[in-house]
Chains A and B, each alone.
Chain A
Amino acid sequence: MNKEDKLVLGGREFNSRFILGSGKYNLELIKAAVENAGAEIITLAVRRANTKDSENIMDYVPENVTLLPNTSGARDASEAVRIAHLSRELGGGDFVKVEIMKDSKYLLPDNNETIKATEILAKEGFVVLPYMYPDLYAARELENVGAAAVMPLASPIGSNRGLATKDFIQILIDEIDLPIIVDAGIGKPSEACAAMEMGASAIMCNTAIATAKDIPMMATAFKMAIEAGRSAYLAGLGRVLTRGSESMDPLTGFLRD
C-alpha cells in the first residue's frame, strides 16, 4: 500500500478525500462542518454570490482550505467560461468545477456543453473538474480535452437517493485514467463508503450534511465513512463465497505436461 495516500488534482496534493459543498446552510455552521469533515476543498457558487457587504462566505472559510469555485447557474459552455473568468479575477484561483445544467427540474448536467467548456478552460490553464452524467464516451472526451478529474453524479443533485448510477460509475473508475470524484446524490455515509470501496478517488457532498439534524456530527460521520471506504479499497476486498458446487467434469483434464 502507498503510505502517502494523497488525492492529486492539478498537481496539488490533498490528504482529505472529502469535498464539501457550501450551500443550503448557515454560514456560522460552515467552519464547524469543514473542521469536522476534515475537508480541504470547499465549493463555492460564483454566480450565486451574495452581493451584500455582510455575510461574506470568505470570512467563514478556514485559511488552509482550497476554494473550488463552480459555474453553477451556467446554461451553456460560454456562460460557464465567463463565470470561470470572473472567479479567477475575483481571486478564486485556478480551480474550477464546471457545472452546466439546462434543466431546472432535475438539474442534470449537459455533457456536451461541459466538454466544450472543459476544453476551453483547460487550454487557458484552469484545473477543471467537470460535473457530468456518468457516460463513458463523455468521460473519455473530458479526459482527452484536459480535465483534471471527472465528477459523475450518483443520482440527481440534492435528492439524497444514493448510488443510483453505481454500475456506470464503476465503468468510469475502471476505464478512465483520472481521479473519479462521485458528486451529487449521496445521501448517507454508508453510500459514500460504498463509492470509495469501489475505487472512487473522492466524494463531493452537500445536501446530505446540510439537511441533517446535527450538521457538524453528520460531517464527522461522512469523514469516517470516506476514510473507511478508502482503506477498504486499498486493502483489497476479500472474496465473496458463492453458493453451489464446482462442475463435475474437470475442464482441464485434457492437459498433458
Chain B
Amino acid sequence: MENEFLVDSDKLSEAALKRKHEIENNKSVRIDHMKFLPNMDQLESDIQDKVLENLKDIDWDSYTDADVYRALAAKTPSIEDFKALLSPAAKKHIEKMAARAKIETAKHFGNTVYLFTPLYIANYCDNYCVYCGFNCYNDIKRKKMSFEEIRHEMEVISKSGIEEILILTGESPIYSDVKYIGEACKLARKYFKNVGLEIYPVNVNDYKYLHECGADYVTVFQETYNPDKYETLHLLGNKRIFPYRFQAQERAILGGMRGVAFSALLGLTNFREDALASALHLYFLARKYPHVEYSLSCPRLRPIVNNDKINPLDVHETELCQILCAYRIFLPYVGITVSSREEKHFRDGIAKICATKISAGVSTGIGDHEEKYEAYKEEEEKESKASDFDKKESIKALQQEAVSENEECGDEQFDISDRRSFDQMYDDMAGEGLQPVLNDYIYV
C-alpha cells in the first residue's frame, strides 16, 4: 500500500486546480529534475555517482544470518557489512545489534545526550512536495515572523534553558531570503551558544554569509535517494533539482560550516536503500572532508494538516531501531538525532543505545512557543498523575487550544509525537542514567 498524498484544497481557483492536476498527472510539463538551474552552483564532485553506484542491483533477501554475524564481528565494518545489517536477515538480531551499537556509542560519546530545540521562523514555500504540510498547494495558515517576533520567541526558548537552536524555514527564497535568515542567525547568537540551520539549499557564498552571521551546522534532507522516485514527489520549485540538493552539504562545507547533517525521509520508498544512501552520502563526504563533523537523522513520515492518513508504511519501530543501530555500527563517530516525530518510549529507549541528540520543547508551527510553553506550566500546575498517554493528550489539547486562540500563528509542518518540555526531557534523560548536555562547542 502506498500513501495517498494528493489532496485538493477547495480554496484553490479553478485555474490553480487545473495547473496542479496537470503537474501531478503529466510528467512532460515538469522540468528535468537532474539538471541544475542557471543560478545554482554546480560542484565538480563524484560523491553522487559513488552513492548511486552503490545502490545498484542490491538483493536485500540474499543476506544471511552468517553475513549479519560477520558484520557484527567486524572491527571496521565494510559497506557490504553495513548492507547486511540493514537487510531483513538482521531484524531478528536486533538485540545483538543494539548491544554492539551501545558499546560503540559509549566509546565515542560516553553517556551524553545533547538537547536542542527547533525554531520555525517562516512556513512559506515555493515547492510542491506532495507529502509535506508546507507544500505550496496546501491550504494552511502561512506566516513569516518579524525580527521582533523572532527575538521574542528566542527569548522565551532560551529562558527554558536551551542553549542550541535549529532555525528552520519553509523553502521560499522569495519570502525567506538569505538576508532574512542571516539576521535571524545574528539574533540567535545573542540568545544561544550554537546555531544550526535547516533551510532550503543555497550556494557556497550564501553558506559563507550565513556562517559569518553565526550559523555553523547545516542540515539538509535528501528525502529519497532514488532519483526516479524523487521526481514523482517533488513536482515544483528548486527542490525538484535532485543533484543541487545532493551537493548542499558539500557546498555548506566549502562555505566554512563546522558540521553537516543528512537524512532520507523514511517511508517514501524502499527504506533500506534510502538508509544505505544516507549513510554512504555521509561516508564518502567524510573521506573527502575528514575535518568536518557529521550527523544523521532518521525522520519517518508523519500526518500533516489536511492529510492525516500519511504514515511511514513498513518502517515500524523495530525497522527504525535496526537502521539506527546499523548507522552506529558502520559510522561509530557520527551524531544521531532523533526528533519529536517519534514517541517518548522510543526516544527514551533509543537514547540509551545510539541516539546522541534529542529535541525538546518542540513546536513545528510558527510563532507559537510562548503559548505552548505556557501549556507545559498549566499542566505542571495541575500535577496530573495521569498516565504518559493521558498527559500527552492533555498537553496536546492545551497547546492546541492556546494556539488556535492566537490567529497570528502559522500552521505546523507535521504533527509531532513527543510534546515534552525541555525541563521534562532533561529530567527524563537524567532519570534514564544519561548525562544531558546543552552545549559542547564554544565559538572562538
Contacts and interface: CB of A to CB of B under 8 A. Distances in A.
Interface residues of A, number: 20
Interface in A206-257: 236-240, 246-247, 250-257
Contact of A246 (B70, B95, B346, B349): B95
30 contacts: A170-B75, A170-B76, A175-B287, A175-B290, A177-B287, A236-B70, A237-B70, A238-B70, A238-B73, A239-B72, A239-B73, A246-B96, A251-B95, A251-B98, A251-B99, A251-B102, A251-B349, A252-B94, A252-B95, A252-B98, A252-B349, A252-B353, A254-B345, A254-B348, A255-B318, A255-B346, A256-B317, A256-B346, A257-B316, A257-B318
A174 interface: yes
B76 A239 contact: no
Given A246-B95, A255-B321, A256-B317, A239 B70 contact: yes
B345 A256 contact: yes
Nearest to A250: B95
Contacts of B346: 254-256
Contacts of B321: 252, 255
A140 interface: yes
Query: Main secondary structure on chain B at its contact with chain A?
Result: helix
Contacts of A251: 95, 98-99, 102, 349, 352-353
Interface of B: 69-70, 72-73, 75-76, 94-96, 98-99, 102, 287, 290, 316-318, 321, 345-346, 348-349, 352-353
Contacts of B73: 237-240
Query: Main secondary structure on chain A at its contact with chain B?
Result: loop
Nearest to B76: A174
Contacts of A255: 94, 317-318, 321, 346, 349
A216 B348 CA distance: 64
A246 B98 CA distance: 11
A109 B75 CA distance: 29
Interface in A108-165: 140
A230 B290 CA distance: 29
A239 B65 CA distance: 12
Contacts of B317: 255-257
A242 to B, nearest CB: 9
A196 B5 CA distance: 53
Interface pairs A-B: 10 shortest CB-CB: A254-B349, A239-B73, A251-B98, A257-B316, A255-B317, A239-B69, A174-B76, A252-B98, A255-B318, A254-B345
Contacts of B318: 252, 255, 257
A152 B300 CA distance: 45
